[in-house]
Structure 1
Amino acid sequence: MSTGNERSAAGTVAYREVSDSKGRVYRVGETDRDLLGHSRKLMVYLPWVAMMAISVSEYAYGSAEDTLSSAHGWTQSNTFWILSVWVFFQAGSAFPAGWLREKGILNARRATVLGAVLCLVGFVALAHLDNVFLAICGFGVIGGLGSGLVYATCINMVGKWFPERRGARTGFVNGGFAYGSLPFIFIFNYAFDTSDAAEVLDLIGVYVLIVVVVCAWFFKDPPKNWWPSEIDPLNYSGNRKSARSLAKNPPAVKQFTPMEAIRSGMLPLMWVTVVITAGVSIFGISFQVDFAKQVGFGPLVAATSMGLMAVVNGVGRAVVGWLSDLWGRKLTLFFVILVLGLAQFGVIWAGDIHSEWLFLVFAFLSGFGGGAFYPMFAALTPDYFGENYNATNYGLVYSGKLVSGLFGGGLGSMVVDAWGYNGAYALAGGISVVAAVIALLLRQPGRPRAAGIAPNPLPVSREAV
């Protein structure tokens, strides 16, 4: 095992690189404080705050639709398509953002600041543009790109700083993207009307800009192949909890380039699963408030159901991320998607019997399943393909959501018009169950199934550079 030197943010720090018999390289010796000047925990809390700030764009939008329609003279279909285009560009920006970051064109700080500025433009457009096409361009395209830049940067950065226990940390940060919208859900239901719509949206845009830019100022990625100095990557010793997580979720056998990840067959399978599951999740976000009102539940139940969905959606991501460190990612992912599918049938049942409390129960379960699968894919991607190309690889996986946005929102509206809410929810539940079955086919590329939880072989020396 050889050592070398590198100058980091904190000065000259010795490090060494070791590799196993498969060629997987680990860079050890530098602590998080050597590289950052402070604990890497800050690279969890700041991305979490930034994610909470941008969550209003998606998770509170459904509560603002009626007022937006009245203020601008839009139809319900117009407002659904604006959200669908936002989802398309929010998800579609993940891959180019990852590519730009890995090419060194955009670092984490610049990508996030740019995203915050674009989010502001999106809210200003939504506030002041009556023309549907211009609103789609402003909020849907520009605002979606901005949110996507912030989202992708926050998620990828956390995975790089916590390679040994990324499930819990990724889930915690990802959760902010849901429950951060909670105050705005109630604002849009109770203190948002045509008389103050523009002012409220302008203020929200400024809020997002300030919060995200302050967080982004401290963002920084670790060096490639970095591994925390207190954990031995070759035998997983040094920390009991980390060792248990690594046994269930062993590191990728090598650093897969995007093309190698695609050729493995696992990345396309993950993409298909995201398309289906995210579509069901977006459908629930878009239609739950309207369905509650349509079956005769009052505005308090409608708003509470959406607020409950947002809170559980976010908290569930953190809980499931922690759970995946214990159970393993694939088993946890199957469980989450199955819950999401069954919850759709529960919503139908609650509506049919006009039970408000039962409706809230299934809103709880739908929110749990509809958010918890996101951190699973965010953690599975580097688990399967490594950290060095994770921004691009995860961008490819997450891009499945851009297809989901079309059938979850806009096409979902068409299904509701044709089949009614019961038919649409039944279809959503059925395809979610199919996605759960597909998730069982996932496996880590290059690692024999029987040895899937075995520790890495003995190291092979490699000169540090």
Structure 2
Amino acid sequence: MSTEKERHARAVACREVTDGKGRVYRIGETDRDLLGHSRKLMVYLPWIAMMAISVSEYAYGSAEDTLSGAHGWTQSNTFWILSVWVFFQAGIAFPAGWLRERGILTARKAMFLGAALSLIGFAALAHLDNVFLALCGFGVIGGLGSGLIYATCINMVGKWFPERRGAKTGLVNGGFAYGALPFIFIFNYAFDTSNFAEVLDLIGVYVLLVVCVCAWFFKDPPKNWWPADIDPLSRSGNRKSAASLAKNPPAVRQFTPREALRSGMLPLMWITLVMTAGVSIFGISFQVDFAKEVGFGPLVAASSMGVMSVVNGVGRAVVGWLSDLWGRKPTLVFVIVVLGLAQFGVIWAGDIHSEWLFLVFAFLSGFGGGAFYPMFAALTPDYFGENYNATNYGLVYSGKLISGLFGGGLGSMVVDAWGYNGAYALAGGISMVAAALALLLHQPGRIRMRDVAPNPQPISREVI
């Protein structure tokens, strides 16, 4: 094992190289030089933390009936609480990224703060009967806490794996869905008005402990860092990484948020995410209720949500891996189309009262409704670089705060006005429009194929 002195000597020997387009890469330092251990830990720990906070969103729909009965809330009240949670969970990503990139808020502190706020959110949901106070407690404070954890985890893995971020980002992002599976069944079978407060308190403590333990080891790499075993100019070295880079070349340079906005691609990504996430959140919010209205039993209703949760998470990991092979954009379009078709399939299954077909389309809806998130998380640094990724991805992900409004709260209004069939048909149509918009995405500054050709001889300089 290397001594601290030897690691320091290697770190001093690192250098920066510049490619033909002016992008700078910091090379020479290994992950073990910087962390003292493999960077794989920066995948596993964010993954575990994401599983811990997934209960807030993906199990909420299974707890709504009990919460309504215990607190005297209407169905609309519970939907709007989730919508506000989604709004603040997504909205904190940009300011948190801005604070992190200026050194005001470290990754570890962001996680600690997020864990504490999440605990407050669950306590509010457990003990506050007043809808407005519960909305502030769980929706605002809990949403901010989960958003801090989510954004920090996603950016962490993207920074440490710039050469093969699809599979890694997909794995971490997937934890945000299937981590809720045990709680979905707890809320359906062991959660009632006699024990709901104790259960929610225990869940809050569980989130606090898991996230804080994971956060203790969080650390960002230096700006412009690139893995030592991959040549960033010829893109040679590790076979899997080289194959991924061929399909997903690095950003031509490091784009500031202002430059990313001016490129036109970040606003297009934002609009596409707004539409796709709205459809996904609609499915999460209403699938159990739709199953019950159609006449399916509680086991099918719970199982459909459990299937959606598991496939939603596993699909993120699988699609992340596929995007390293196919390319991010084709994979994103494929995922959004599947999500749209699944909405029409759910209508069909309900109309013919087929439980097994309903579960099949719940499977597809869960797959499409989660797998697009890691695609946007990977596309953002692919298009705009890693140095400003916390703020750039924060801007893209902020689209979810709009999605939460029309996916949950406004979705409830559409169901009241048009019924479930009309609402699901509208969701399917929105998804198809989003897929068409995704076809317009392209990497800024690398429009022509010859731009991907091998770069000229690098310019090297030592880091002082």
Cα distance between partner residues in 2 of 1:280 and 1:64: 21
Contact 2:67 2:73 (C-alpha < 8 Å) held by counterparts: yes
Partner of 1:335: 334
Cα gap change, 1:452 to 1:418, in 2 (>3 Å): farther
Residue 453 of structure 1, CA deviation: 4.2
Partner of 1:349: 348
Provide the aligned length of Structure 1 versus Structure 2.
Answer: 459
* Amino acid in structure 1 at the alignment position of 2:35: L
TM-score by length of 2: 0.98
Cα distance between partner residues in 2 of 1:210 and 1:274: 32
Please state whether the residue corresponding to 2:374 is helix, strand or coil.
helix
Cα gap change, 1:403 to 1:234, in 2 (>3 Å): same
Q: Does 1:458 align with 2:452?
A: no
Partner of 2:8: 11
Residue 412 of structure 1, CA deviation: 0.1
Please state whether the residue corresponding to 2:26 is helix, strand or coil.
strand
Cα distance between partner residues in 2 of 1:374 and 1:280: 13
Contact 2:15 2:460 (C-alpha < 8 Å) held by counterparts: no
Partner of 1:196: 195
Cα distance between partner residues in 2 of 1:456 and 1:8: 35
Please state whether the residue corresponding to 2:227 is helix, strand or coil.
coil
Partner of 1:360: 359
Partner of 1:387: 386
* Amino acid in structure 2 at the alignment position of 1:362: F
- Deviation string 1:175-222 (CA, Å, 9 cap, x unpaired) is 000000000000000000000000000000000000000000000000
Cα distance between partner residues in 2 of 1:146 and 1:209: 10
After the TM superposition, which residues 252-401 of structure 1 pair with which residues of structure 2 at under 5 Å, given as runs?
252-401=251-400
Please state whether the residue corresponding to 1:11 is helix, strand or coil.
helix
Cα gap change, 1:51 to 1:414, in 2 (>3 Å): same
- Deviation string 1:381-420 (CA, Å, 9 cap, x unpaired) is 0000000000000000000000000000000000000000
Residue 87 of structure 1, CA deviation: 0.1
TM-score by length of 1: 0.97
Cα distance between partner residues in 1 of 2:450 and 2:106: 37
- Structure 2, unaligned runs of 5 or more: none
Cα gap change, 1:262 to 1:70, in 2 (>3 Å): same
Residue 461 of structure 1, CA deviation: 2.7
Please state whether the residue corresponding to 2:375 is helix, strand or coil.
helix
- Deviation string 1:272-296 (CA, Å, 9 cap, x unpaired) is 0010000000000000000000000
Residue 456 of structure 1, CA deviation: 3.6
Cα gap change, 1:8 to 1:202, in 2 (>3 Å): farther
Residue 460 of structure 1, CA deviation: 2.1
Partner of 1:160: 159
Cα distance between partner residues in 1 of 2:5 and 2:45: 21
* Amino acid in structure 1 at the alignment position of 2:373: Y
Cα distance between partner residues in 2 of 1:79 and 1:70: 11
After the TM superposition, which residues 117-156 of structure 1 pair with which residues of structure 2 at under 5 Å, given as runs?
117-156=116-155
Cα gap change, 1:456 to 1:175, in 2 (>3 Å): farther
- Deviation string 1:324-372 (CA, Å, 9 cap, x unpaired) is 0000000000000000000000000000000000000000000000000
Q: Does 1:175 align with 2:174?
A: yes
Cα distance between partner residues in 2 of 1:406 and 1:451: 43
Partner of 1:77: 76
Cα gap change, 1:338 to 1:416, in 2 (>3 Å): same
After the TM superposition, which residues 201-212 of structure 1 pair with which residues of structure 2 at under 5 Å, given as runs?
201-212=200-211
Partner of 1:217: 216
The 4+ residue runs of structure 1 with deviation greater than 6 A are none
* Amino acid in structure 2 at the alignment position of 1:256: F
Partner of 1:57: 56
Partner of 1:111: 110
Cα distance between partner residues in 1 of 2:80 and 2:452: 45
Residue 452 of structure 1, CA deviation: 5.5
Residue 21 of structure 1, CA deviation: 1.8
Cα gap change, 1:8 to 1:27, in 2 (>3 Å): farther
Contact 2:114 2:146 (C-alpha < 8 Å) held by counterparts: yes
* Amino acid in structure 2 at the alignment position of 1:155: I
Cα distance between partner residues in 2 of 1:451 and 1:56: 46
Cα distance between partner residues in 2 of 1:376 and 1:422: 29
- Structure 1, unaligned runs of 5 or more: 1-6
* Amino acid in structure 1 at the alignment position of 2:8: G
* Amino acid in structure 2 at the alignment position of 1:433: M
* Amino acid in structure 2 at the alignment position of 1:207: Y
Please state whether the residue corresponding to 1:462 is helix, strand or coil.
strand
Residue 458 of structure 1, CA deviation: 2.8
Partner of 1:403: 402
Residue 310 of structure 1, CA deviation: 0.3
Cα distance between partner residues in 2 of 1:139 and 1:9: 49
